[in-house]
Structure 1
Amino acid sequence: MAASAPLRPASEAGPRRRKSWDKHTWLYVSVIAAVVLGAVLGLVVPEFATTLEPLGKAFVGLIKMMIAPIIFCTIVIGVGSIAKAATVGKIGGLALIYFMAMSTFALAIGLVVGNLIHPGEGLDMHGAQYAAEGEAKTTQEFLLGIIPMTFFSAFTGESVLQVLFIALLTGFALQGLGERGAPIMAGIKHLQVLVFRILSMILWIAPIGAFGAIAAVVGKTGVAAIWSLGVLMVAFYITCILFIVGVLGTLLYAVTRVNIISLMKYLGREYLLIVGTSSSESALPRLIAKMEHVGVSKPVVGITVPTGYSFNLDGTAIYLTMASLFIATGMGNPMSISEQIGLLVFMIIASKGAAGVTGAGLATLAGGLQTYRPELVDGVGVIVGIDRFMSEGRALTNFTGNAVATLLIGSWTKQVDMMRVRRVLSGEVPFNEASLSGDGHGSAPKEPVVATSGAHGSGSGSGGLGSAGAAAH
């Protein structure tokens, strides 16, 4: 007993000791510094800067190495998550249909904007030696090429579609096995942890890869490269704003008569938290508590929010398609409409299940390019340089999309108290910031208003949502 006494203050002192920056912040700053240094070097000594291109290619090579295991694990687990969510009935099924529709719409918007502004035009991101790579295939050859020679050969070849095909078969087979497949699914989840751990290790050399890639492209193109990267970032943020206000805002008002600006004002503290961490995952428990407080029933919040964190990534969808078009144009090989549609379909499937893991979006982007235009994958190195600048936009858009989805699903299933929604958003019923609780929040309209202890007291609250809701950008 005496020995345990000094341990308590020590453990309590840990959280109180304020650290100015954590390791992820250092990585964030390092990438930004590397981009700036690479751009300056490319402008000052362009001849030397172009010789640094192998640094960017080496980093991209490491990312390519991880594409197959990442796609396999995330698709298998994603298929299992869809089945699990669909079993909850009307709420889960409706949520999944909505998420798929909105993700597809967001991907399409990214393609439309990309085709309008032609990001990457005038860049020189690729050597001429790659221009002739790849032969055109007929539709029949393309479809037959999806089937691998053996089950395991898919993981050693260069066709990501073969890995996707095997992953889908495995996922549906595990569904059919029921409880007997649970140990296998658990093993794949453990494998996913290992795979993403390796990916996180690779991302620590992102500053070196970004430095080499940016230095080389600026050395070849000059100020035009910096301008094109800036255009992409500005266009991305404008697209996200238009999507939030124009698409999500219009849909929210049409269904619930709620102004999206008032909803965003209500979630103001969560937005500040997301901007500070560059991830919507940090705001997950608060979103659950606040959506219950605003008047949406606990079952709807408990199903919609965590599922949306994996399947409703509107900002990430916009980013994936715009970044793909940027790379294709910048490397002098713009995508045809058929390739863009194929890429969109691939992204719809491949972007599910890997949300929340840092670098998953980058791997999905590389996987899509590897599938349809392998010669464009090297351009991912340049995107790494500005990826961090756009992470906040992705996270904020994803977060807003999930908040809107929760209100919409609650309205469609008649499990939201609209009178309470208006009172909360007008400030009449304040949210208890101290305990993350509200006055009777989370009650369905057909139930009596009962005071609860907050989201953390709910069976469908933040507890147990860590894996399903790992979120985000």
Structure 2
Amino acid sequence: MIVEHSAEIRSKTPFYRHLYVQVLAAIAAGILLGHFYPELGTQMKPLGDAFIKLVKMIIAPVIFLTVATGIAGITDLAKVGRVAARAMVYFLTFSTLALVVGLVVVNVVQPGAGMHIDPASLDVKAIATYTATAHEQSLTGFLMHIIPTTLASAFAEGDILQVLFISVLFGIALALVGKKAEPVIDFLQALTLPIFRLVTILMKAAPIGAFGSMAFTIGKYGVASIANLAMLIGTFSAFAEGDILQVLFISVLFGIALALVGKKAEPVIDFLQALTLP
């Protein structure tokens, strides 16, 4: 019944109301602006940066709520351990494979070559932190970094691994407490609805972010960079099967978790079904 209703609403929606159509139109507008008014196009960069910050802002709460409530709803914690172990083995295996494939492809195909970007014009500070951490951090240091200084610091700094670590521990704690934790679980489940609705609202700004990013890119590097960007995106899409498998695997796990939770997961299921609407 819900699927039929969704299909009926989708069929009555004008094509220009679809988000992907708006994003494509915004990209085209950004290309035109960057090409004919390059100085003005480069000034549109804050629009793209703002959208990226909005997305990053909501990632931590979404992870915490979905993981914590999902684990809290599983009565058999042994299942959580088995799933976590399998997920870790899968993650390590396919992440290593993805790194090997990525290194081979980037050296053979060389996507992005030909854009003639002056390295001096790039923001070195933006990547300095990551390169320094990669050189200095050992395996032990990496594992220690997963443990946050405080519960709040993980969310304040936006460290996804730390947020995931807290989410798993908090979900296990809720499951161990039992019935006395039901008010907390009910609150978190209720909070999930407005948080996911907020995600839907933020996605409405995707055309603005796409417009600003494209206008800046074309204004700064020229319209010829479109071909190089297309090559880069095409290469990523063609050789990112590892990431696609990870997304598929996570989606299956999330579906299993929803099935194990039962009726308490109905608000989340209803929301996911609502997301299929334009």
Q: Same fold (TM over 0.5)?
A: yes
| Cα distance, 1:84–1:238 mapped onto 2, change above 3 Å | farther
Q: Conserved in 2, the CA contact under 8 Å of 1:122 and 1:224?
A: no
CA distance in 1, matches of 2:88, 2:269: 17
TM-score (norm 1): 0.43
Residue 236 (structure 2) pairs with residue 317 (structure 1): no
Q: Conserved in 2, the CA contact under 8 Å of 1:38 and 1:212?
A: yes
| Cα distance, 1:17–1:168 mapped onto 2, change above 3 Å | closer
CA distance in 1, matches of 2:10, 2:155: 45
The structure with the largest helix share of the pair is 2
Q: CA deviation at 1:212?
A: 0.4
CA distance in 1, matches of 2:73, 2:57: 26
| Cα distance, 1:74–1:232 mapped onto 2, change above 3 Å | farther
| Cα distance, 1:185–1:46 mapped onto 2, change above 3 Å | same
Q: CA deviation at 1:80?
A: 4.0
| Cα distance, 1:29–1:106 mapped onto 2, change above 3 Å | farther
Counterparts of 1:75-224 in structure 2 under 5 Å? 75-80=67-72, 107-118=95-106, 119-121=111-113, 127-128=122-123, 130-131=125-126, 133-134=128-129, 135-136=132-133, 137-139=136-138, 142-223=142-223
Q: Which residue of 2 aligns with 1:52?
A: 44
The alignment-based identity, stated in percent, is 33
User: Which one-letter code corresponds to 1:171 in the other structure?
Assistant: G
Q: CA deviation at 1:25?
A: 5.1
Secondary structure of 2:157's counterpart equals coil
Q: CA deviation at 1:170?
A: 0.5
User: Which one-letter code corresponds to 2:246 in the other structure?
Assistant: A
| Cα distance, 1:45–1:102 mapped onto 2, change above 3 Å | same
Q: CA deviation at 1:56?
A: 0.6
CA distance in 1, matches of 2:51, 2:88: 32
Q: Conserved in 2, the CA contact under 8 Å of 1:75 and 1:353?
A: no
Q: Conserved in 2, the CA contact under 8 Å of 1:110 and 1:317?
A: no
Q: Which residue of 2 aligns with 1:226?
A: 226
Higher relative contact order (CA 8 A, sep 6+): 2
- Gap regions ≥5 residues in structure 2: none
Q: CA deviation at 1:206?
A: 0.8
CA distance in 1, matches of 2:25, 2:147: 44
Secondary structure of 2:46's counterpart equals helix
Q: Conserved in 1, the CA contact under 8 Å of 2:42 and 2:216?
A: yes
- Gap regions ≥5 residues in structure 1: 1-12, 244-313, 320-347, 357-401, 403-459
User: Which one-letter code corresponds to 1:51 in the other structure?
Assistant: Q
Q: CA deviation at 1:78?
A: 4.1
Q: CA deviation at 1:353?
A: 9.2
Deviations 1:98-150 (A, max 9, x none): 77666665555544443333344555598325356424344365544443333
Size of the aligned set, in residue pairs, is: 253
Secondary structure of 1:149's counterpart equals coil
User: Which one-letter code corresponds to 2:122 in the other structure?
Assistant: G
Q: Which residue of 2 aligns with 1:35?
A: 27
CA distance in 1, matches of 2:162, 2:122: 28
Q: CA deviation at 1:187?
A: 1.8
CA distance in 1, matches of 2:193, 2:70: 14
Alpha carbon RMSD of aligned pairs, Å?
Answer: 4.6
Deviations 1:247-282 (A, max 9, x none): xxxxxxxxxxxxxxxxxxxxxxxxxxxxxxxxxxxx
Q: Conserved in 2, the CA contact under 8 Å of 1:52 and 1:212?
A: yes
TM-score (norm 2): 0.67
Counterparts of 1:442-453 in structure 2 under 5 Å? none
Q: CA deviation at 1:43?
A: 3.0
Q: Conserved in 2, the CA contact under 8 Å of 1:52 and 1:213?
A: yes
CA distance in 2, matches of 1:17, 1:74: 28
User: Which one-letter code corresponds to 1:130 in the other structure?
Assistant: K
Deviations 1:314-369 (A, max 9, x none): 626379xxxxxxxxxxxxxxxxxxxxxxxxxxxx9xx679969xxxxxxxxxxxxx
CA distance in 1, matches of 2:74, 2:232: 33
Secondary structure of 2:184's counterpart equals helix
CA distance in 1, matches of 2:253, 2:213: 26
